[in-house]
């Protein structure tokens, strides 16, 4: 190959231009600012679709934060000792009481009034 001929110079120009085009295509695809031929930056135009997606994303992030706060509250309620105590009391209410039918206690004379 003739390193000093016009073919070599044209090959370098074509490779440089191709690299620049590929670089800008990748940058545009991912939403980065584009480079012009003098090294400056050109911001891509903001489309209506991008603005709508950003607004929807912000709403979803806020909803996720709200759900996280609700989850923390529920965890605090469930791990609270008072809640567990209440569940234990309710569980005891469901167990049949054996002493209710046993006459081994001291009878209360509610119907008789004693005068002191």
pLDDT at residue 114 greater than cutoff 70: no
Residue-wise pLDDT for 47-67, tens only, equals: 788 888 889 999 999 999 999
Query: Which of 25-29, 65-69, 78-82 has the largest mean confidence?
Result: 65-69
Q: Report domain extents, the chain.
A: 9-45, 46-94
- Residues contacting residue 20 through CB under 8 Å, at least 6 positions apart: 35, 37
Q: Which of helix, strand or coil describes residue 39?
A: coil
pTM recorded for the entire structure: 0.36
| CA–CA distance, 28 with 16 (Å, rounded to integer) | 18
Mean pLDDT across 107-114:
61
């Amino acid at each position: 190959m003739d390193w000093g001929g016009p073919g070599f110079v044209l090959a370098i120009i074509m490779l440089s231009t191709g690299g620049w085009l590929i670089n800008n295509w990748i940058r545009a695809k991912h939403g980065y600012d584009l480079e012009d031929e003098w090294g400056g930056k050109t911001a891509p135009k903001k489309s209506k679709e991008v603005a709508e997606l950003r607004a929807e994303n912000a709403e979803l992030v806020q909803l996720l934060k709200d759900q996280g706060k609700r989850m923390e509250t529920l965890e605090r309620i469930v791990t609270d000792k008072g809640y567990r105590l209440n569940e234990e009391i309710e569980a005891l209410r469901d167990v049949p009481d054996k002493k209710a039918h046993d006459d081994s206690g001291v009878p209360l004379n509610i119907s008789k009034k004693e005068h002191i």
